[in-house]
Amino acid sequence: MVNGDVRRPPVTDWDFPRGVGGVVLLVDFASELGIPAERVLRGTGIGADAVRDPLAQVEAHQELAVVRNLLRASGADPAALGLAAGQRYHATSYGIWGYAVISSGTVRDAVEVALRYVELTFVFCVPELRDGTDLAQLCCHDEAVPADVRPFLLTRDMAAIFTLIRELLGTPLPARAVRLRLPEPADVAPYADVFGTVPEFGGESSGVVFPRELLARRMPQANEHTAALCEQQCRELLTRRRERTGVARLVRDRLLAAEGLRSDMDSIAAGLGMTGRTLRRRLAAEGTSYRALVDEVREAFAEELLATRALSVEQIAYRLGYAEASSFIHAFNRWKGTSPRASRS
């Protein structure tokens, strides 16, 4: 489908709300490249007023449309462009989430609070912390990211992580290895400049390996009172974003009913006396979407079912309406920043 500058493939996992800050950063980056805001916003459904409103929300698929417009307008290599964009994502770009991370006691505390409230950030390649004996790994899951924007978003999110850590610690992240699930480019020098080492390209996963002892390091601006206050505000902000009233509450109630998660949107809409198109429009007006509500209910049920230890991860995935356990595992990583098995243990 062609819609202005946007050629968007079918999207099923990216119709949930998020803050407009990620779009603002992309618009500013485009401006540095000489690309006007109206071109990167064309066909996305995001108006100039929304970009100027710090409290505005957009849907993730709209932000993906902005990325597609940016890539098309720049004509640059997507991975190299993402590498440059990621270095613009500073701690203060993330609002209260950034201050919660800055004021954390240790690096481990900072990583844990960052992953706990990752929905307040702009990432698409969801991070997951994996502990080892001597080494730790921060994995970046890009499996569900649409292929046409994956190189840009992977390098952007990875570069943003390195930029954030350098700012927080006052020193570069001592990476033992950086892995990118991308083909090796002709020029690896820009990657070495950002990551401090030449990445391993072409593997099956993406992420950074670093000494586990780094997690115990005291944060330079640690402040217990400020950290608690900022985390409380993150929690309240996330709760408000997830809060459901009106039609959204009616949909959520039906999803919570027996076999509710096996119903599609048209069935739910019919039960409420409206068409699927009308339901989509009503939910959008309330700042949410059918997919976001399904995710909320699945997340809540997943926590309960994992806590009982009565079912395997595969059985829980089936109960939640997933065709494959891998889809559930990826979704759980996006919600919690860890795997279902790690959460259970």
Rounded distance between C-alpha atoms, residue 266 and residue 225, angstroms: 48
Arithmetic mean of pLDDT, 264-275: 89
Outline where DSSP puts E strands in the chain: 2-3, 6-7, 17-19, 57-59, 126-131, 135-141, 177-180, 200-201, 207-211
d(CA 296, CA 78) in angstroms, rounded, equals 32
What SS3 class is residue 196?
coil
Per-residue model confidence (pLDDT) at position 1: 31
Confidence bin at 10 (pLDDT 50/70/90)? very low
- The answer, yes or no, to whether residue 40 has pLDDT greater than 90, is yes
CATH superfamily of 244-344: Homeodomain-like (1.10.10.60)
Per-chain mean pLDDT for the chain: 87
What percent of the chain clears pLDDT 90, i.e. is strictly above it?
Answer: 50
Q: In this predicted model, what pLDDT tens digit does every residue of 193-229 receive, in sequence order? A: 999 999 999 989 999 999 999 999 999 999 999 999 9
CA 188/CA 327 separation, integer angstroms = 33
Examine the pLDDT at 291 and tell me if it is beyond 50.
Answer: yes
Residue with more model confidence, 17 or 158: 158
Measured at the CA of 131, the angle between CA 228 and CA 180, to 5 degrees, comes to 105
For residue 242, name the pLDDT band (cuts at 50, 70, 90): low
At residue 244, the pLDDT reads 62
Query: Coil, strand or helix: which one is 184?
Result: coil
pLDDT at 16: 66
pTM over 0.75, yes/no: no
Provide the residue ranges of all domains of the chain, joining segments of one domain with +. Answer: 1-75, 78-241, 244-344
